[in-house]
Chain A
Amino acid sequence: MQLSVRELAKRYKTGDGVGGINIEIEKGELVTLLGPSGCGKTTVLRSIGGFLEPDSGDILIEGKSVIGLPPEKRPTSMVFQSYNLWSHMSVYDNLAFGLKIRKMPKAEIRGAVADALKLVRLSGFEKKYPAELSGGQQQRVALARSLLLNPAVLLLDEPFSALDAKLRHEMREELREIQTKTGLTMVFVTHDQEEALSLSDRIIVMNHGRIEQIAQPHQIYDEPASLYVAGFIGKMNFLEGVAEEGGIRIGSLVLPNGKELRGRVTAAIRPEDVQLSANHGTEGVLKGRVKQIMVLGHYAEVTVELAGYGIIRAFQSKEAMQRLQAGQEVGVSISKLTGFPVEEAKAN
């Protein structure tokens, strides 16, 4: 394992903190810590980087514990959200600083700096000062500075969150490209689920200082491990149902569910797994009435009022949408759901 975090715990005086954090990351993986602000993702990252000393637990990098080591002694490197660069130094000096400390010969430093700048597509920027660079360029220089130290684990603390949406998108693609080229192990912290889904090999979803799920992006989306994850990632409908043999019953529908559940359950249903049809009288559909149709480009979000079950949202294609109108009675069928015990819903 390139990075192992074992039973990490850290409590702050305010009562916030993290606990029971177990993470195993393999060499060359890009793993995202995803969660709302205050969920503890940055605490975990800063503990790995050595900027925070955890209360208990262990952190191993390439098999060796780094607990107790200051940041400068750890084989990690961190890119911060902002204020990464030293404004009194040129880009070259910013990049060379760490290498000079490592007593690398000057000629080698020059080569390494040029290579790193090329990797982040800023060749020839050596003599510029941070104030002359745009926000995106500054973050690229910071990335280059970390890259040329060839860290065992590269830590990224919301590095693109201060950039505008378009640039953020570009930087994401670029980071993925650099990761493929260099094969570096990366831990990326973000609160932006789109960023996490598009960037990661695996996602660690955190909430209230605990890990909710560790899985590949498509698993996180398709098989959320908890009600929290189901609601946090993407759009989701929640309907009440009853667990019985063979699956979960919602009205006249019975749908298979992977987990063994009992009694009342909350069923999480993706809007794309909801189908609408004109024949609302038949078996195997729920009766509903179209409340609203919102066109979102190549598809539409249709809000349907279900008799006795509240509201359900369905994504419909353009063609299907043209057959619908507000106030119309429709039959609603569901192709896939994930069930959760009701107790869990209350806990969240």
Chain B
Amino acid sequence: MFERKSGILLVAGLIFFAFAFLSNAVVPALMYSHLPEKTAEELVNGNIRYQFEDLARRYPEAFVAAFGQPPEDPETKEGTDWWNQNVADALREGRSIYVGEGCWHCHSQFVRPVSNEEQRWGPVAASWEYQNELQRPVMFGTRRVGPDLSREGGRRSNDWHAVHFFKPTMVSHKSPMPEYPWLFDGSPSKPTRRGMALMTYVQWLGSWLESYPDYEAYTQAPLEELKKEAAEAAEAAPAG
């Protein structure tokens, strides 16, 4: 058997290969068969909806040019469907840009239970988080030149991401990350559809967790009041 063609073709070529495939690929697939694969539409949640609507507020013209005019009333069934469908489309598109630009070669998407990673990034990765169409193939990653991104969503604002994608060193002084100006129309304040899709994807990462930073409770800084107070103080000062 060991030096015959049949032994080499059947035993080494086919049987050993099949044994490895069964034990190393079919077994985990069966083990997770009770977790159905979610579609991008099913992945839309409040957090990512918030981030996506935030894009529309921050870059109104670019947003309308990229995704069309949002419906007047987001509370109606029609309005909700419009937003959710666009978030799902942006997620799919953002993921394909994330893959096509090779982001996953320098950023991982799983937090390990060792090396103090829980403290740096948050909860350890769990299987159910990856059972969706955006993880086909899975974006675990094998190298971290930059930090892990699986808990990146909500940590930074869309503005930060826009500037960072445009020219990383503007916000992260020594970053070796490449620049991606082709995701913009010449300036960080004018992201294209691709740029906004990628931001949506990054803001989605970890949006399914309770530890997602709670931006919904965020209230605008009382800039106008502060200005008024400062003006009043300035007026009062020479008199006093």
A binds B: no
**Residues on B close to A: CB < 8 A?**
none
